[in-house]
Amino acid sequence: MNPLDPTPRLPEASGAQVPLHGAAPRARIHPAVVVVVYWVLFLLLQRASALLAPTPAVSVWYFPAALSLALLLILGPAYTPVLLVAPFLGNLSLVLRPGGIAMADAVVNAVTHALGYGLAALAFTRARLSPRLRRVSDAGGLILAAVVAPLLVAIPAVISLQRGGALGPLHPIPAFRAFWFGDTLGVLTLAPFLLVWTLPVVRGEPPAHGASWRPERPVEAILQSMALVLGALLTVRMSSPGTLHLEYVLFLPLLWVALRGGLKAVSLAIPFLSLTLLTLLLWSGHPPSNLLDAQAFLVILFGTTLLMGSAVDAQGRALRAWQRAEEDRSRFFQMTRELLAIWDAEGRFQDLNPAWEAQLGYPRRDLLDTPLLELVHPEDREEVQAGHERLFRGEDPVAFESRFRSRDGSYRWLLWSATPLRDRDLAYGVARDITDRKEHEASVRSALREKEVLLKEIHHRVKNNLQVVSSLLRLQANSHGDPAVQAALQEAQERIHAIALIHQKLKHAPDPTRLDLAAYIQTLAERLVRSYASTPTLVDLQIQVDPVRLGPDEAVPLGLILNELVSNTLQHAFPPGEGGTIEIQVEALPGGQALLRVADSGVGLPKGIDLDCGGLGFQLVRALADQLGGTLELERRCGAAFRLTFTPHPSPNLHDL
């Protein structure tokens, strides 16, 4: 499809009724009616051509050829067999008259006529050209078909007529030239008119819109007609006797018609000029054979004019499309509340929409040719300059945020999205004023910082209070003489310290809602080893923690469970003076679950003691596991191992809010 032609392609030779530009479709004419009309007109025009022929079967303008090509372009190459009938019936007059051509020659002429124009129409269709002649390539294809098809027909026709004696004393070479150019002139004269004006009627399609030629310019049309008549009159009356050597004056009026009226006007002007020339020749007493010398010039003249008319139409369509695009762009520029701007490679504004004045207070005229960076906040200029350079290096699209100075001196945050227009070395950009969003984000960040400080202060105070309780328990233990009571108070003190350690870690964490579980377990386990192991250096701690996030309500019970299991291992798993290995593992399981495993290489649990039958520590571990909604299991292999499977429910990260 020609990019200069904005109109949609129509299904050619299909007979479909396709509305164009919203126009209502018309009833199409049945192909059988078209064929009958073609036969009648073919015989009439063939008879008229024979009357004006300088020699038998050789015409100056063979208009039936235009009918044949137009019929196949309108209905499709599948109707090629239809072309056999009319030429054969027309040649019967030559067969029946005394001294006429043989019946075989009439059949040969009809067959070659059908094949020549059928092949031309097939090539035209296969090249995806439009018989409505909307593009320059369509007009070029028609001209090529007007030259090639008669050539394919002329060679066997002249041979047949020469052999049958129908040409008389006329030499075969001039006869071939006259035959070829006569058919070509007939096609170039009448076929454009049939395709431009008759095709929509036959197919039931609305007439083409947007053509340059308009009937509301009657004065110019009358002047153009007078110029054509005058050119034809000068050519016929002032040429040397027996010639038409002044035919070049015909170019000027046809050029005027093509440039001002396009293809529709040309399709009317060429038949008008041809009939005018014939009329003047007959009226002046000159034989039509005078036109034989001018045939080649007329072929070039008509072909050139057709191309020029189609080029004018294509230019007009492109201009109208550009005007519509400009109108749409202007309308969009005017109606949108977004900030739209066009700037060049030097960063200077070339066009802006009224939203700049409405939102930033700048009239358009004050910003035109102003450098973009002059309005950018000094702290943002480096980022804007980098985005500008990426844009003109070909990156598409480019987005960046920056603060722009308003006319009152204040700054507004703008989010830019820009794309390059490479063929014109320009950039198109659109900006959403995000100042309110930025201010809201700043207020949210400020509120989060305040909450973070508050949470850390809470953790600090809870930790201090728990330390006071721990100190009181230590004083109570030191003042009591019973070792059993001292051991119980020490266990309570360690439990309180396990809780206090959580608040201490949260206080110093970047996010006071997120516990560094690995560091917490390491610190807690090392403290318990120092407190309970008879020989701390003989205890090997092996800690492996996956990144598992816990909520505040889950960290405390998990810490207490660790405290109970590790302290129990240190007190009972290793004989005095001996050590071993303690493994602490936290593993993230599929499905969002987590596994806590505490294992040792000690002597193992005594028989008869399990999770359902144990001391206060085991009872506390079972209660805390239920609080977590987890499952607690015991393994008796090479020591003892406790497995707690549970599902964490972490709170949102404070910095992600």
DSSP, residue by residue, 18-51: --STTPPP-PPPPHHHHHHHHHHHHHHHHHHHHH
- Chain-wide mean pLDDT for the chain? 78
- Residue whose structure tokens are 């299904």: 11
The answer on pLDDT for 14 being more than 50 is no
How do 641-646 and 631-635 pair as beta strands?
antiparallel
**What are 426's strand-pairing partners?**
344, 421
Q: Which residue has the higher pLDDT, 257 or 341?
A: 257
> 202 Cβ partners below 8 Å, 6+ apart?
28, 29, 34, 74, 75
| CA 398/CA 428 separation, integer angstroms | 10
- Considering the domain architecture, whether residues 427 and 474 belong to the same structural domain is answered as no
Residue 3 domain flag? no
Q: Which residue has the higher pLDDT, 334 or 563?
A: 563
Question: In what helix (H) or strand (E) does residue 284 lie, and over which residues does it extend?
Answer: helix 251-284
> 307 Cβ partners below 8 Å, 6+ apart?
136, 139, 140, 143
The separation between CA 568 and the C-alpha centre of its own chain, rounded to angstroms, equals: 69
Cα angle 628, 632, 633 (rounded to 5 degrees) comes to 165
Tokens representing 481 are: 């003489």
The last residue of one of the domains, among 293, 324, 355, is 324
Tokens representing 204 are: 């039931």
- Considering the domain architecture, whether residues 484 and 605 belong to the same structural domain is answered as yes
pLDDT (0 to 100) of residue 515: 74
State the pTM of this model: 0.55
> 531 Cβ partners below 8 Å, 6+ apart?
490, 494, 567
**Confidence class of residue 20 from pLDDT cuts 50, 70 and 90?**
very low
pLDDT (0 to 100) of residue 96: 66
Number of C-beta neighbours around residue 51 at 10 A: 8
Q: Which residue has the higher pLDDT, 398 or 256?
A: 256
* Residue 397 preceded by cis peptide, ω within 30: yes
431: left (phi over 0), alpha (psi -120 to 50) or beta: beta
The answer on pLDDT for 75 being more than 80 is yes
pLDDT digits (tens, 9 = 90+) for 631-648: 888 887 778 888 888 888
Residue 303 domain flag? yes
> 229 Cβ partners below 8 Å, 6+ apart?
276
Give me the phi and psi of 119, to 5 degrees please: -65, -40
- Considering the domain architecture, whether residues 385 and 449 belong to the same structural domain is answered as no
- Considering the domain architecture, whether residues 526 and 402 belong to the same structural domain is answered as no
Short-list 86, 195, 205, 212, CA closest to 145: 195
**Confidence class of residue 188 from pLDDT cuts 50, 70 and 90?**
very high
- Considering the domain architecture, whether residues 214 and 201 belong to the same structural domain is answered as no
Q: Which residue has the higher pLDDT, 512 or 148?
A: 148
Q: What is the CATH number of the domain that holds 422?
A: 3.30.450.20
Residue 297 domain flag? yes
Q: Which residue has the higher pLDDT, 123 or 321?
A: 123
Tokens representing 23 are: 């126009």
| CA 470/CA 490 separation, integer angstroms | 9
- Considering the domain architecture, whether residues 603 and 635 belong to the same structural domain is answered as yes
DSSP letter at 613 equals B
The answer on pLDDT for 293 being more than 90 is no
Is 533 strand, coil or helix? coil
pLDDT digits (tens, 9 = 90+) for 80-112: 999 988 888 877 766 666 656 677 777 888 888
- Residue whose structure tokens are 């070339």: 350
pLDDT digits (tens, 9 = 90+) for 550-604: 766 787 788 788 878 888 888 888 888 888 888 888 888 888 888 888 888 888 7
How many domains is the chain built from? 4
Name, of 6-15, 137-146, 315-324, 337-346, the range with top average pLDDT: 137-146
pLDDT (0 to 100) of residue 78: 92
Region 290-297 average pLDDT: 75
Region 450-463 average pLDDT: 59
- Considering the domain architecture, whether residues 90 and 147 belong to the same structural domain is answered as yes
| CA 344/CA 581 separation, integer angstroms | 72
Residue 479 domain flag? yes
347: left (phi over 0), alpha (psi -120 to 50) or beta: left
Is 379 strand, coil or helix? helix
First to last CA, the chain: 54
Residue 66 domain flag? yes
Residue 33 domain flag? yes
pLDDT (0 to 100) of residue 268: 93
Q: What is the CATH number of the domain that holds 487?
A: 3.30.565.10
Q: What is the CATH number of the domain that holds 29?
A: 1.10.1760
Is 385 strand, coil or helix? helix
The answer on pLDDT for 139 being more than 60 is yes
- Considering the domain architecture, whether residues 527 and 513 belong to the same structural domain is answered as yes
The last residue of one of the domains, among 157, 185, 209, is 209
Residue 605 domain flag? yes
The last residue of one of the domains, among 433, 460, 475, is 433
pLDDT digits (tens, 9 = 90+) for 484-510: 777 777 667 676 766 767 666 666 666
pLDDT (0 to 100) of residue 267: 92
- Considering the domain architecture, whether residues 204 and 214 belong to the same structural domain is answered as no
Name, of 180-189, 348-357, 522-531, the range with top average pLDDT: 180-189
pLDDT (0 to 100) of residue 622: 85
pLDDT (0 to 100) of residue 273: 92
| Domain enclosing residue 372, as ranges | 336-433
- Considering the domain architecture, whether residues 426 and 446 belong to the same structural domain is answered as no
Q: What type of residue is 10? A: L
| CA 531/CA 551 separation, integer angstroms | 28
pLDDT (0 to 100) of residue 55: 53
* Residue ranges in 165-250 assigned as alpha helix (H): 172-193, 199-203, 218-238
- Considering the domain architecture, whether residues 200 and 233 belong to the same structural domain is answered as no
Residue 11 domain flag? no
The answer on pLDDT for 607 being more than 80 is no
Integer-rounded Cα radius of gyration of the chain: 50
Name, of 355-369, 464-478, 600-614, the range with top average pLDDT: 355-369
- Considering the domain architecture, whether residues 446 and 425 belong to the same structural domain is answered as no
